[in-house]
Structure 1
Amino acid sequence: MIAVSEDRQRLVRTAARALARGGLVHAYGHCSQRLDRAHFLVCAARPMGLIGPGDPGVVVPVDGPLPDGVLGEVRIHQRIYARRPDVGGICRTQSPQVMALSTLRRTPRPRHGFGAYFAPEVPLWDDPQLIRSPDRAEGVAAALGDARAVVMRGNGPVITGRDLIQAVVLSWYLEDAARVELEVLKTGLDGALLSPEEAAERATDAGRIYERMWEHLTAGDPEAG
């Protein structure tokens, strides 16, 4: 079994609670951090806001059966890590605005700053069923392609990042992009989209963009450093 440092365990626990604090998960959801090309660490299989200091995550192989006690939808993480060597962290959330928008077979469009991070589009996996088989997990990973997130119709999104911190922050950005999309739809108007050039310039990581949102989402956490 691969050894996991306490720092990595702490990161996964803190990320899980940050997603709960941000209203992006409830009883359901999970997150993971890549350890190496062949393994990742997934949070404990319990409501993420209830994961306490010292609750260990589980090491999961990128290829192979899920360890005992690991949730079935963690197969999505396996297939994404296998396909995407650039991905270092994954969040499976239950974001309410993204969920609502997905029932219209829509995903957030690049209309404002946070939406720019998902330009040109967020792909949709057009199947409302839980992802508990290898074939469905492979389908979701294939639908994701090179994007930062994929939305499963009526089932919530999966968000990726270069590490787990970025994935958590992008999870918040995606939810805000869905909020804006729904507000625009209420007007009955179409509204402007960011051009590819505008989106590329706006989707910056300068100015401690990710770090400041991480600090906001982890404020008051017992293990936040």
Structure 2
Amino acid sequence: MEINDEVAIRRQLVKAVRMLERIGILDMNGHFSFRLPKQDRFLINARAASRASLTVEDIVSCDLDGRVDEGMQEPPSEVHIHAAIYQRRPDVSAVIHSHPHWQTVLGIAGHPLRPVFSIGAFTTDFPVFEKSSLVNTRELAVELAEILGTSPVVQIRHHGNVVVGSGIEEVFAASVYLEENAKKQFYAASINADFHVLEGENLERTRESNWAPSIIRKAWRYHEEKARLAGSFQGIDSVGKGEA
């Protein structure tokens, strides 16, 4: 895929949303965006469109103030999250806000995320945004972006999280394995409060070997193929059309 091919980017974004809905990281809520290269615009799934049957026609274009292009569907009410992060973080090209179960449970219990799983070794004690309401104003979004700082993740207590990165596949994979790491941490803590955490040289080596571009790509292809075989990509180009 050429990074400047907007049609291909829209299709990849739709695939990512459908794949994340299929594995339970997105449900009726949540949104995934991508900043278009060399443009002050980003693409994001429309507010009213089902995440399970999202199409390229349900991807809307917004400026960096979160204003949707004329004639398009309404963006999510929390579009301000994406706009504020893109304004603050020129290194970020993709943003997802979701409500992952295990991470939210750990946050409610007051347990910081810890690196306990090899592919989740990038996990650390990420910053926490303590305002659990919808982040549906520019003021709240700017505050959240400030808490995020230079981190790839910010947890939203009682609510969910925001994950950022350089591309759709990276943010997809990070969302998947951050949640898998949280699930394993929850189960380990339920067995033994003094559970093992990756640390020191072992942690650094594990991060380097298990969170490489090749692993990110492999994770994307695995979930993409599973979704394709399950028929999850039917109709992504428009209502009534199958996958091209």
> TM-score with structure 2 length normalisation?
0.82
Alignment match of 1:42 (pick from 37, 41, 44):
44
* 2:162 matches 1:162: no
SS in 2 for 1:158: strand
Q: What is the CA–CA distance in structure 2 between the aligned matches of 1:144 and 1:197, rounded to whole Å?
A: 26
Which runs of structure 1 show a deviation greater than 4 angstroms over 4 or more consecutive aligned residues? none
Give structure 2 stretches of 5+ with no counterpart. Answer: 237-242
Aligned to 1:214: 220
Instruction: Output aligned runs, 1:3-152, within 5 Å.
Output: 5-36=6-37, 38-45=40-47, 46-52=49-55, 54-62=56-64, 64-67=65-68, 69-119=74-124, 121-152=125-156
Distance 1:174 1:203, change over 3 A: same
SS in 1 for 2:36: strand
8 Å Cα contact 2:35/2:93 also seen in 1: yes
Q: What is the CA–CA distance in structure 2 between the aligned matches of 1:138 and 1:115, rounded to whole Å?
A: 28
Give structure 1 stretches of 5+ with no counterpart. Answer: none
Q: What is the CA–CA distance in structure 2 between the aligned matches of 1:114 and 1:142, rounded to whole Å?
A: 27
Alignment coverage as a number of residue pairs: 220
Root-mean-square deviation (Å) = 2.2
Distance 1:39 1:177, change over 3 A: same
Cα distance, 1:100 vs structure 2: 1.4
8 Å Cα contact 1:150/1:158 also seen in 2: yes
Partner amino acid, structure 1, of 2:26: V
SS in 2 for 1:203: helix
Larger Rg: 2
Cα distance, 1:99 vs structure 2: 1.6
Partner amino acid, structure 2, of 1:171: S
Distance 1:170 1:209, change over 3 A: same
Q: What is the CA–CA distance in structure 1 between the aligned matches of 2:31 and 2:94, rounded to whole Å?
A: 11
